[in-house]
Structure 1
Amino acid sequence: MKKLLFALPLLLLFACNQEPTVKIKGSIKKGEGITLYLDKLHTARVETIDSVKLDKNGEFSFKTKSSQPEFYLLRLSNGKLLTLLTSPDEEVEVNSISTHMNQAYIVSGSTGSAFVKDLNDKLKETKDSLAVIRKELQEKKADPNYSSISQNLLAKYIEVIQDQREFSANFIMKNATSLSSYLALYQKIDDNTYTLNENDDIKYAKVVASSMRALYPEHEYTKAVLANLETMQKSLDNLKIKNLIKEKGANYPNLSLKNTTGKEINLNSLHGKLIVLSFWASQDVNSRKQNITLKKIHAKYKNNGLEIYQVSVDQDAKLWKEAIEKDGLNWINVCDTENGSALAVRNFNVQQIPANYIISKQGDIVGKNLYGLALEEKVAQYIK
């Protein structure tokens, strides 16, 4: 008995000295001769932890100390990679193929890594769907029914983006205690478009920050999201104060897009004027007809405080500029040709082309999707 009692403290001491680890193993098919790296993802850098040259079976095994959830990359020397989110003492198994590393992999033994896969799979589905729609818009430009076709495709485009936003928001609310929510918060549809809107969706940043602060107060990702939240909140507060002082932007989001010469023009810079915010496409027949009405209104009221801020959803800069010149449009014309002005379309919930908003001199939206005589009458009503 004395020997047993003597040994027990030693066992406890030994157990306390064991640092938590994460084991990651699996196989990468068609990976013979390729080097596989295990990288730890920090907020501002990537740290290579280990590496192995894959044999003909593509099998690998890594082990690293880890006392809290961490993001890791499995990265091949051919540039292919996938992201994992591990917790202490997890034994993660990953099976993939070297040519499609992040598209055809199976992960088990790690709830966080499964969440990451769900997020990335959904984002890929969204990007692929948007690419198909953009391609179809390009291919259908010569179609005599392009007007109705483009409206339907644009509505579908917005629907896909909105579906992604709802997925990201719901994911965060369901999995707020997982570090994967950090990833959901900062995913991007393209270089300029987050899945969540910075101002409108700040509540989700607060949820993630609150959860991470409670669970992992010293984690570098917690400090990063708290700092970002503070910046977002200050920006939002400053915007609110600015709007109250200048009485502008009361019920519409700002836009900042480039004109034909590359100069960026803010919609809010037109505060104090009556604004016709017009969305159009150079190859859309109804948009070109609408330009006739806009020219008439602009000529009549431009000296009385009327401004037209026209946003094109074109992705062909040449066609956009040619249409402006041919129609003689001498007001503000802007476009993000890389993305078809997708963010502007999304922020104003545009579901058809052409579309328009009438914004009063006080910054209130006083009309929407008015055409022909109805548009003329609404402008005349508020130009006084």
Structure 2
Amino acid sequence: MKKLLLALPFLLFWACSQKEVAEIEGEIVNANGKVLYLDKLHTSSTELMDSVVIGDNGRFKLEVEVTQPDFYLLRLSNGKLITLLLEPKEDVLMHIKGPEMSKDYIVEGSKGSKLVKQITDTLNNTKAKLASIRKELNEKKSDPNYSSISQNLLAEYVETLQNQRKFSVDFVMKNATSLSSYMALYQKLDDKTFTLNENDDIQYVKIVASSMRALYPEHEYTKAILHNYKTLENNLSNLKIKQLIQEKGASFPDITLPNTKNKEVSLSSFDGKFVILSYWASQDANSRKQNSTLSKIYKKYKNKGLEIYQVSVDQNEDQWKEAIKKDGLKWTNVCELENGSAMAVRNFNVQQIPANYLISRQGEIVGKNLYGLALEEKVADYVK
């Protein structure tokens, strides 16, 4: 009994000294002598946890105390980084094929980190494909067959966006109990555009928030997503109340884009008007021909309640504005030059250029892709 009592303090000390440590080791090609840092990624800041000078053979080893799943950043002094999702006691093995870090690496021993790599790789591939399509659209502008080429490329652009959205939804539904789904919810195609950005997507936020609240009630990411969900719910509720007040029953999503003076204008700002929603490109011959028809119709019916809200898929500001000036377009023209108005194209499932939708005073779509005399006759039916 006396021996047990003497041993007890040592046992207690040993137990208290045991920590939930995750180890990360591996190699980085062509990074000898560089400093590798390991940061903990908080919701609004980062915290340095460990660092190491990479050896002559490219080898490194880092460790960090982990008590629950959390996001971490592996980064070099050149700013290149890899996001990891670590759990207690994981032994993570990594092979990083160069100082570009996130573009080419293998990770084993961490399920969460592999999921993070999956969603990161998919988004990077989507961004690269969208950039390639935008580049080709720009390069082909002088091609005499640009009209048909642009239609095919635009259809491919929309399909790429839809595929990314489908991947994000499927990923969240399959991995709702993993913190990686938190990351999937908030991925962006660009500074302004989330991969999940429709009102109905609040359901996926709710699924992940409920799962995290059950599994990690005190986690900072749980608190963050619960706050975000409440904000989204309030915004959606206010939107529905606004729609009820307006008694609009609109059958289309809204668009808000900057005009030629960089002032944001919404499609919904023309409530109560008969609106031609027109999609075009400054370098597309058929679009320019359609502008002539629109000008004729607008001049005839603008004082009778007709408005035109024209969305350009251009990415060259000078060409866009020059075409507006040359064609004498007097109505609202908007464009998100950074991405060719990608979300406005996607939300209305535009498959060709030029394209149009006709929206009645009551907010109902009453026509689609009408041109020439057919367009003028349809407008005449509703604007009297």
Structure 1 residue 154 corresponds to structure 2 residue 174 = no
User: 2:210 aligns to what?
Assistant: 210
CA distance in 1, matches of 2:186, 2:11: 44
What displacement does 1:192 show?
1.2
Amino acid at match of 1:379: V
Deviations 1:48-79 (A, max 9, x none): 11111112112111121111001000000121
CA distance in 2, matches of 1:140, 1:247: 45
Correspondence list, 1:185-196, <5 A: 185-196=185-196
User: 2:35 aligns to what?
Assistant: 35
Aligned-pair identity (%): 66
CA contact (8 A) 1:31 1:98 kept: yes
User: 2:90 aligns to what?
Assistant: 90
CA distance in 1, matches of 2:249, 2:188: 26
CA distance in 2, matches of 1:93, 1:279: 50
CA distance in 1, matches of 2:308, 2:357: 10
Rate the CA distance shift 1:137–1:356 in 2: closer, same or farther, 3 A.
Answer: same
CA distance in 1, matches of 2:301, 2:101: 59
User: 1:121 aligns to what?
Assistant: 121
What displacement does 1:223 show?
0.6
User: 1:73 aligns to what?
Assistant: 73
CA contact (8 A) 1:80 1:98 kept: no
- Structure 1 segments unaligned to the other structure (5+ residues): none
CA distance in 1, matches of 2:230, 2:142: 49
What displacement does 1:7 show?
6.5
CA distance in 2, matches of 1:19, 1:185: 32
Amino acid at match of 1:288: R
User: 2:302 aligns to what?
Assistant: 302
User: 2:139 aligns to what?
Assistant: 139
User: 2:168 aligns to what?
Assistant: 168
Aligned-partner SS, 2:222: helix
Rate the CA distance shift 1:223–1:91 in 2: closer, same or farther, 3 A.
Answer: same
Structure 1 residue 201 corresponds to structure 2 residue 201 = yes
CA distance in 2, matches of 1:141, 1:78: 38
What displacement does 1:249 show?
6.3
Task: Please provide the CA RMSD for this pair.
Answer: 1.9
Correspondence list, 1:250-265, <5 A: 250-265=250-265
User: 1:22 aligns to what?
Assistant: 22
User: 1:44 aligns to what?
Assistant: 44
Deviations 1:295-337 (A, max 9, x none): 1111111001110000000001111111111111110011111
User: 1:277 aligns to what?
Assistant: 277
Aligned-partner SS, 1:201: helix
Q: How many residues align?
A: 384
Amino acid at match of 1:37: Y
CA contact (8 A) 1:34 1:78 kept: no
Deviations 1:151-177 (A, max 9, x none): 000000000010000001000000111
CA contact (8 A) 1:209 1:229 kept: yes
CA distance in 2, matches of 1:152, 1:269: 32
CA distance in 2, matches of 1:230, 1:248: 26
User: 1:339 aligns to what?
Assistant: 339
Rate the CA distance shift 1:320–1:155 in 2: closer, same or farther, 3 A.
Answer: same
User: 1:101 aligns to what?
Assistant: 101
Deviations 1:252-300 (A, max 9, x none): 1111111111121111111011111000001111111111221111111
User: 1:290 aligns to what?
Assistant: 290
Amino acid at match of 2:39: D
CA contact (8 A) 2:28 2:99 kept: no
Using the size of structure 2 for normalisation, the TM-score is 0.96
- Structure 2 segments unaligned to the other structure (5+ residues): none
Aligned-partner SS, 2:102: coil
CA distance in 1, matches of 2:198, 2:222: 18
Please, which moves more after superposition, 318-327 or 93-102? 93-102
CA contact (8 A) 1:76 1:98 kept: no
Amino acid at match of 1:158: V
What displacement does 1:198 show?
4.1
Aligned-partner SS, 1:189: coil
CA contact (8 A) 2:98 2:104 kept: no
CA distance in 1, matches of 2:213, 2:355: 44
Amino acid at match of 1:277: L
Amino acid at match of 1:272: G
CA distance in 2, matches of 1:249, 1:276: 18
What displacement does 1:6 show?
9.2
